[in-house]
Amino acid sequence: MTDVFELVEVGAGDVLDTVTFGSGGPSYATGVAEPMIASRLRLIPDREQAVASLEGWSNGYLATRRKP
């Protein structure tokens, strides 16, 4: 199964990166989200749980959303 998320700027709604989780691990359109995703995967090594934790994640400045 492939999961696709966008990293967006809160307020402006600009998409900073698109992250695709495929069988080979995450791939990034721009790489902006790579540090955040890498730290998430270190904290939550189970892929399904890590991907689920991205649903609705926000730090007030950036947020993730599942790509429609």
pTM of the predicted model as reported, rounded to 2 decimal places = 0.87
> Is the pLDDT score of 68 beyond 80?
no
Question: Which SS3 state, helix, strand or coil, does residue 31 take?
Answer: coil
Q: What distance in Å separates the CA atoms of residue 50 and residue 23, rounded to the nearest whole number?
A: 14
pLDDT tens, 6-48? Answer: 999 999 999 999 999 988 889 999 999 999 889 888 999 888 8
Q: Which of 12, 11, 21 is nearest to 67 (CA)?
A: 21
Q: What distance in Å separates the CA atoms of residue 11 and residue 28, rounded to the nearest whole number?
A: 22
